[in-house]
Structure 1
Amino acid sequence: MAANASFATTLTILFSLLFAVTAEDPYRFFNWNVTYGDIYPLGVRQQGILIDGKFPGPDIHSVTNDNLVINIFNNLDEPFLLSWNGVQQRRNSYVDGVYGTTCPIPPGKNYTYMLQVKDQIGSFYYFPSLAFHKAAGGFGGIRILSRPRIPVPFPDPAGDYTVLIGDWYKSNHTDLKAKLDSGRKLPLPDGILINGRGTGATLNVEQVLEF
């Protein structure tokens, strides 16, 4: 009986270890439509690139080890490609969004990116990597949080904000690209955007007094 009990215990442990090894990490699914749309970041109408109608695009909130499945529908009239800046390509390098390792999404077609954000805690962002599209939009934030069972060595923040800051031009991205393709330099930017806005971008914060 003792031998049978010991054998049963061993089998239980082996099955538990097998399950722990083969159990998949959580999946998060996104379906995004990429379109043109009017934007007014510096008070002048421009043709922007929107993701699900948003400029900047929607944030990706995730936890380390999450599998991200991001299905992109390209409704532009030209190829489109997204790059995931700083996100390590643990399973393959074919979805890093760099032209040459990732094929652009043809107009009217879709492509599904599959990423695993493994052991990366912090803030990252995505952006279009072709045809100077970044000067028209198509970018957004990526937030990767620590798994709850792995504590971090600091208190939880009172709030979390995505802040995207960058130069901006009033000219259309196609005009800017044509200027670069002709060998000319770009002028100084017309302004700076914070979360897609040239003026009026605000964040509410709570002052902490230390004595």
Structure 2
Amino acid sequence: MSPPISLCVFVLLSSLLAAARAEDPYRFYTWNVTFGDIYPLGVKQQGILINGQFPGPQIDAVTNDNIVINVFNNLPAPFLLSWQGIQQRRSSWQDGVYGTNCPIPPGGNFTYNMQFKDQIGSYYYFPSLAFHKAAGGYGGIRVLSRPRIPVPFDPPAGDFTILAGDWFKLNHTGFERHSGQW
């Protein structure tokens, strides 16, 4: 004996509804922020490393991905990250601007939760407190289009992340003492 048609329709509709409510993919990162030696301009300086890297790790994502980054601040000073160009939907207070986002205290951690929604392209992240940007702590973000949404151009022959910035022979802590003399 076969099940009644109404039960089959109910099961089919339930499965379609469950598929429609499925969340977009998640990408998880754990970052440890520390000081280490870097050599911009060939001069040894104290720089900010993320997971021992300078520049920091690149985030590769697809539009609509949910990005979860757990940041551990192992610096002796508060630390805050800003996400240049990333649209912050439902998490605009995590944009890395002091006042809307509290800095991560020394020895503390904070988990950023973002969704890279409806945007493709190249972006970057950087520290936004106490001249930390002059010491490193930044990296690239690449957001690709979802495969089912075509883009009106061919894929690039190659893909390179270029992070340009100013470098000085003075350690970043010296900027705070000399900031009015530039």
Instruction: Provide TM-score, normalisation by structure 2.
Output: 0.92
Q: What residue number does 2:33 align with?
A: 34
Q: Give runs of aligned pairs for residues 43-122 of structure 1, distance below 5 A.
A: 43-122=42-121
Q: Does the 8 Å CA contact 2:36/2:49 hold for their aligned counterparts?
A: yes
Deviation by residue 1:82-131 (Cα, 9 ceiling, x = unmatched) = 01111111122221111111110010111110110011100000000000
Per the TM alignment, residue 44 of structure 1 is displaced from its structure 2 partner at its CA by 0.7
Per the TM alignment, residue 155 of structure 1 is displaced from its structure 2 partner at its CA by 1.1
Per the TM alignment, residue 21 of structure 1 is displaced from its structure 2 partner at its CA by 3.4
Aligned-partner Cα distance in 1 for 2:13–2:27: 30
Give the SS at the match of 1:42.
helix
Aligned length: 179
Q: Does the 8 Å CA contact 2:31/2:70 hold for their aligned counterparts?
A: yes
Deviation by residue 1:124-158 (Cα, 9 ceiling, x = unmatched) = 00000000100000000000000111111111112
Letter in 2 for 1:138: G
Consecutive unaligned residues in structure 1, runs of 5 or more: 187-211
Give the SS at the match of 2:93.
coil
Q: Does the 8 Å CA contact 2:48/2:54 hold for their aligned counterparts?
A: yes
Give the SS at the match of 1:57.
coil
Aligned-partner Cα distance in 1 for 2:164–2:54: 13
Deviation by residue 1:20-54 (Cα, 9 ceiling, x = unmatched) = 33211101010111000111110111110011111
Aligned-partner Cα distance in 1 for 2:167–2:80: 20
Aligned-partner Cα distance in 2 for 1:64–1:153: 16
Letter in 1 for 2:106: P
Aligned-partner Cα distance in 1 for 2:181–2:145: 43
Per the TM alignment, residue 12 of structure 1 is displaced from its structure 2 partner at its CA by 4.6
Instruction: Provide TM-score, normalisation by structure 1.
Output: 0.80
Q: Report the identity percentage.
A: 69
Is 1:21 aligned to 2:20, yes or no? yes
Q: What residue number does 1:166 align with?
A: 165
Give the SS at the match of 1:135.
helix
Runs of 4+ more than 6 Å apart:
none
